[in-house]
Amino acid sequence: MATARDIATQVLASIEHLGEEPGMYFIPDIAKMIPPTIREIVLDVVTAGKQDERKLLTKTFTAAIVPVVDNFDTVDLTASLTAAEPMLLDQPFPGVTHTDSQSGELLRTSDLRNLGFVNLAEGYDHYAIDGNTLYINADPELTGNLSIRAFYVPAVTNLPKQFETELIKRLIANMRMAK
């Protein structure tokens, strides 16, 4: 896996190969541009990518359920959102399951206002997200942990190899726009 320095060096070599003078760009400046550029790539893949590419950008986060607050159990997602490889909260989760029971997958409700109106008699527990909190409407109430399969922004050292070329192209384009 490539490091930020490896990617920055490849960017400088590509700029030179394109006939431009790489001397005005510095490795630390390029390295600072890498995380937001990776995020751009992930968002593009999640919204329009191929299924096999999308799978490469998902991982499982585990979070503890806090019993009944305002009639709904809650899960604080802050740690997963601020991790070195954070989950993308603004994209639908590929799957949310209760790890400590047979309740199966929870279904997402459009927003917190609608969570209290879902029909639990269907046999499915439901969740909604508001801010950094996931709220659960379940019968019976759930305890323990949730397993959240979510899209995430990988660190440069964990970026799947097939996205490195796109990362380099976008870094060059972003640098040209910043001139």
How many angstroms separate the CA atoms of 32 and 38, rounded? 11
Of the chain, the end-to-end C-alpha distance in Å amounts to: 29
How many angstroms separate the CA atoms of 45 and 41, rounded? 6
In the chain, domain spans: 4-54+154-178, 58-151
Strands 95-98 and 107-108: unpaired
Let me know: does 154 contact 86? Beta carbons within 8 Å. no
pLDDT digits (tens, 9 = 90+) for 136-164: 988 778 888 899 999 999 999 999 999 99
How many angstroms separate the CA atoms of 127 and 116, rounded? 10
pTM listed for this prediction: 0.85
pLDDT digits (tens, 9 = 90+) for 91-108: 888 889 887 666 678 889
